């Protein structure tokens, strides 16, 4: 973790200036509904993209890669939630975002399968949050992003919603770019963070 990343992200990340997402706007009761909605919303977003495997620029993931990432975020968050319910303030391992994208060949996966597994992961995490009470949501774990810090399960849920919302914005940007002009050919790339590519950053 570099000093630049420390300057860029405060210890308490509760709002995204780029997409306008405010964590406090999501109530605990809304988490299951918002999570379940991602299946349909990502399916709709991908239908707006002419070429789901095309990366809009160097250093930016394709729409399909973003969908794969969100699917895996949902699964990782479910594992973290389960761990925090079993263990007092566990340390969550980074998900290895970029390594995972390469190892699992995100851009070569079948879009229909990705959407189906994204929906299943969203339903699973929604079911897990649905049964949690206030004491459960107040349990904490050491979250690795933007730097290790104790976070509640309520924050974890809200952060997961932000991940889904933010990457829908990324996919819609790609759709607008493809509609406006012929994009460059497929080039090696990585996903961006809120303000652009940051080498080595592991989020969420």
Task: Please enumerate in sequence order all residues whose Cβ is within 8 A of that of 159, keeping only pairs 6 or more positions apart, or say none.
Answer: 13, 23, 143, 151, 204
Region 87-104: what's the mean pLDDT?
Answer: 97
Q: Report phi then psi at 176, rounded to 5.
A: -65, -40
What distance in Å separates the CA atoms of residue 197 and residue 52, rounded to the nearest whole number? 20
* Domains of the chain with bracketed CATH: 28-180 (1.20.120.450)
The DSSP line for 80-133 is HHHHHHHSSSPBPPP--HHHHHHHTTGGGS-HHHHHHHHHHHHHHHHHHHHT--
- Residues 33-52: tens digit of each pLDDT: 999 999 999 999 999 999 99
Q: What percentage of the chain reaches a pLDDT higher than 90?
A: 77
- 141's enclosing H/E stretch is strand 140-143
Cα 2 to its chain centre, rounded Å, is 22
């Amino acid at each position: 973790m570099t000093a630049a990343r420390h300057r860029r992200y405060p210890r308490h990340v509760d709002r995204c200036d780029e997409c306008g997402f405010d964590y406090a706007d999501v109530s605990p009761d809304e988490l299951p509904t918002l999570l379940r909605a991602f299946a349909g919303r990502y399916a709709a977003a991908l239908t707006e993209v002419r070429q789901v495997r095309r990366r809009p620029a160097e250093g930016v993931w394709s729409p399909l890669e973003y969908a794969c990432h969100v699917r895996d975020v949902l699964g990782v968050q479910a594992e973290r939630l389960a761990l925090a319910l079993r263990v007092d303030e566990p340390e969550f391992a980074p998900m290895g975002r970029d390594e995972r994208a390469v190892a699992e060949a995100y851009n070569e996966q079948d879009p229909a399968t990705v959407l189906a597994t994204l929906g299943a992961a969203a339903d699973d995490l929604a079911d897990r949050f649905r049964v949690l009470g206030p004491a459960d949501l107040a349990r904490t774990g050491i979250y690795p992003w933007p730097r290790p810090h104790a976070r509640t399960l309520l924050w974890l849920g809200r952060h997961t919603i932000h991940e889904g919302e933010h990457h829908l914005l990324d996919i819609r940007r790609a759709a607008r770019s493809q509609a406006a002009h012929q994009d460059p050919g497929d080039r090696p790339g990585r996903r961006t963070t809120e303000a652009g590519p940051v080498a080595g950053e592991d989020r969420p």
